[in-house]
Amino acid sequence: MSRKRIVIVEDEPDMADLVSTRLRREGYIVETALDGSKGYEMIRANPPDLAILDVMLPGMSGTQIASRLRDDGKTANMPILMLTAKSEESDIVVGLKFGADDYVTKPFGMSVLIARIDALLRRSATPSVSAEVLKAGPLLIDPQRYTAEFAGNQLKLTLTEFKLLWALVCAKGRVLSRNQLMDQAIGLNAIVTDRTIDVHITTLRRKLGLARDCVQTVRGVGYCFSSQSPSGSEE
């Protein structure tokens, strides 16, 4: 099995060195950048298997990098993990909305970081159960390419957003709890909260545009997918 390559964009040299040293010990190929602009160009020139981005960076912020990577076909589905010293929920929500798949708040334990990285890489490498393009209501979903289309336009979904959509579609109208969505779309060992799922669902709905009502909220239970897409679903 080939070794996975990770790019770390972190402006604190000690932190970048600490994380890169530990990841190399875990068997990863690691490259680092101390500047946001340089990190973005490094990733864009040779996309890695996963990117770790600090939020506050000189040259270009981590959220700006994530947003640009999601708009690029070469990196649209690449797993992105954000590092942030900010623990406020609003800051975490912003990171997820700009395209991060997961986040770790500083200070963090290296074992937690490794677990998050491993979970993201497992999800990105997991083959889909079906090789066929599936029509789900107004959407066309390709589980091999991790893409979804609406009205002939490809939606710019992150890996996590696609996995959530796929889990809901495969449930065939059944309601999935947040815990079930965590297990199926994020992974059994992932460390996430109910709010994390809600934020991803909100962002998924926004990207679905006119098809947003296909993803419905069932109060106190979870979410389901409806091909009828009635208007007025709740956030």
Do the Cβ atoms of 101 and 190 come closer than 8 Å?
no
| Least confident residue range of 23-32, 70-79, 127-136, 159-168 | 127-136
Residues 118, 150 share a domain: no
Note the pLDDT of residue 183: 78
Q: Residue 143 corresponds to which tokens in the numbers above?
A: 């589980």
Domain boundary among 125, 145, 176: 125
Number of domains in the chain: 2
pTM value is: 0.67
Percent of the chain with pLDDT over 70: 86
Picking from 125, 150, 171, the residue at the C-terminal end of a domain is 125
What is the torsional sign of CA 118, 120, 125, 129? Answer: positive
Please check whether residue 169 is in contact with residue 129, taking contact to mean a CB–CB distance below 8 angstroms. no
Is 235 a member of any domain? no
Per-residue pLDDT tens over the stretch 185-235: 766 445 555 577 888 899 899 999 999 999 999 988 999 999 865 444 444
- The answer to whether position 168 is within a domain reads yes
Asked if residue 147 and residue 66 are part of one domain, the reply reads no
* 199, amino acid identity: V
Note whether residue 232 is domain-resident: no
Return the CATH number at 49: 3.40.50.2300
Summarize pLDDT for 51-98 with one digit per residue, the tens. Answer: 999 999 999 999 999 999 988 888 988 999 999 876 666 667 777 778
**121 and 198 part of one domain:** no
DSSP string, 195-221: HHHHHHHHHHHHHHGGGGGGEEEETTT
Does 183 or 177 have the greater pLDDT score? 177
Angle of CA points 31, 37, 40, to nearest 5°: 55
Residues 60 and 91 in one domain: yes
Q: Within this chain, do residues 85 and 143 fall inside the same structural domain, yes or no? A: no
Name the one residue in this structure whose structure tokens are 């909305």.
Answer: 97
| pLDDT tens per residue, range 9-21 | 999 999 999 999 9
Q: Yes or no: say if 84 and 91 are a contact pair by the CB < 8 Å rule.
A: yes
- Please check whether residues 164 and 214 belong to one and the same domain: yes
CA-based nearest residue to 76, from 160, 132, 140? 160
Domain final residue, candidates 67, 91, 125: 125
- CA dist 118 and 113 (Å) reads 9
Residues 44 and 138 in one domain: no
Average pLDDT, the chain: 85
Q: Is 56 inside a domain boundary? A: yes
Domain that holds residue 189: 134-225
From the list 50, 44, 63, 58, the residue with the least C-alpha distance to 19 is 50
In a domain, residue 234? The reply is no
